[in-house]
Amino acid sequence: MALPARTTQIVSEIQIAGYGPVYVTQTVGEVLTAGFAPVRTSQVVAEVVNSGAGYARASQLVAEVLVPYFVVPPLVTYPSYPQLVGLGFSVIRRPLFSTGKGIAASGREVRVQYFSFPRWEWELTYEYLPDAPKNGSTASDYRTYVGFFLAVAGGTLPFLFKDPDDHTVTNNQIAVGDGTTTTFTLNRTYGLGSDVGTEPIGYLDTSAAFNAYENGVSTGAYTLNTTTPVNQQITFSTPPASGVSITVDMSYYFYVTFKDDQIDMEKFMYQLWSLKKVTLISQKG
């Protein structure tokens, strides 16, 4: 049962001898909605009129506005984005950073990096999604895709996406030992030499082979913690010695959501549908 919605409004007029009226024209109280934080808008609009003079106005005082919100609870397991044969070309993939920019009076520009690592966007196109059962199953590619979109409630719930061109690394350095630290974040590196970018993986593919090495020597004295997306960790039984290169072989997913709350499916032939564009965007956990 919803909580009552309360809207309180007071309009008052006070007459002061020898002066014009003092008006407090509006006070707005509080609206409470079940399941959300209270929404409060406190507003006072006042006008003071002085005898024989222009009037002075305190035109608006806004005390507090709380926007209702709903926090999506963390999932125990995350669904995987369906891999269907109708995925076509082209595929657009873009890294996204956030940069603050300021220009001084002299014209010098200052830039500040807000993201320590990028978010990623993918624009995918499905040339065809058959709506006919296959391999004895009652589910078609079309119904599988639509069902997945409904299951994650559009852009609401996160899921795991395996990028066909970026889902595995071999001999990937994740850290250098310092003789004390035992826990390290699993990350993957792009580039060579000094032109590299490193970021944490979204989610480890635990169904694929995983190997860890210290200075190129395989070790099994570790445990993996894959509880938190974008914070997948390896913990060694003994701290790797100072200067030891820690590398891994692994497969991984990106932790993403649909960017939008709608998709446009087009039927272009009997039992054949297409999806001209769907956009996925990575999340930071």
pLDDT by residue (tens digit) across 155-210?
Answer: 999 999 999 999 999 999 999 999 999 999 999 999 988 899 999 999 999 999 99
Contact 236, 225 (CB under 8 A): no
The pLDDT of 237-254, averaged and rounded, is 98
Find residue 80's DSSP bridge partners: 160
**Tens-place pLDDT, residues 86-120:** 999 889 999 999 999 999 999 999 999 999 999 99
Q: How many CB atoms lie within 10 A of CB 188?
A: 19
Taking CB atoms within 8 Å and a gap of at least 24, the contacts of 10-19 are 18/51, 19/49, 19/50, 19/51
The pLDDT of residue 139 is 84
The pLDDT of residue 285 is 84
Q: Indicate the domain borders of the chain.
A: 12-65, 92-158+257-282, 168-256
As given in the structure block, the two tokens for residue 157 are: 């719930």
Question: Quick one: what percent of the chain has pLDDT higher than 70?
Answer: 72
The pLDDT of 121-147, averaged and rounded, is 90
The pLDDT of residue 74 is 61
Euclidean distance between CA atoms 175 and 19, whole angstroms: 76
The pLDDT of residue 34 is 47
Find residue 187's DSSP bridge partners: 200
* Residue 4 one-letter amino acid: P
Where residue 138 falls among pLDDT bands split at 50, 70, 90? confident
The pLDDT of 231-242, averaged and rounded, is 98
